[in-house]
Amino acid sequence: MWDELVRREIIKFGDFKLSSGGHSPYYVDLRRVLAYPDLLRWVVAKYGNLLKEVDFDVIAGVATGGIPYASILGFNMFKPIAYVREERKWYGAKREIEGAVWEGARTVVVDDVITTGESVLNAVNKLREAGAKVVAVAVFLDRQQCGVQRVEGTTGVPVKAAYKILDVLEEIKELIGPAKYRQVKDYVESFKC
Give residue 53's pLDDT. Answer: 93
Contacts of 111 (CB under 8 A, 6+ apart): 61, 62, 65, 66, 119, 120, 123, 137, 138, 139
| Alpha-carbon span 109 to 104, nearest angstrom | 15
Contacts of 156 (CB under 8 A, 6+ apart): none
DSSP state of 30: G
> pLDDT per position in the chain (193 positions), as tens?
899 999 999 999 999 998 778 899 999 999 999 999 999 999 999 999 999 999 999 999 999 899 999 999 999 999 999 999 876 654 555 678 999 999 999 999 999 999 999 999 999 999 999 999 999 999 999 999 999 999 999 999 999 999 999 999 999 999 999 999 999 999 999 999 8
Give residue 92's pLDDT. Answer: 55
Other C-beta atoms closer than 10 Å to the C-beta of 112 total 23
Domain 2-189, classified CATH 1.10.287.1080, yes or no: no
Give residue 93's pLDDT. Answer: 52
| Alpha-carbon span 139 to 47, nearest angstrom | 7
| Alpha-carbon span 133 to 124, nearest angstrom | 9
Give residue 21's pLDDT. Answer: 80
Give residue 19's pLDDT. Answer: 78
| Alpha-carbon span 137 to 127, nearest angstrom | 12
How do the domains of the chain map onto residue ranges? 2-189
Determine the residue type at 120: V
Give residue 150's pLDDT. Answer: 97
Query: What Å distances lie between residue 104 and 112, 151, 189, CA to CA?
Result: 25, 20, 39
Give residue 20's pLDDT. Answer: 75
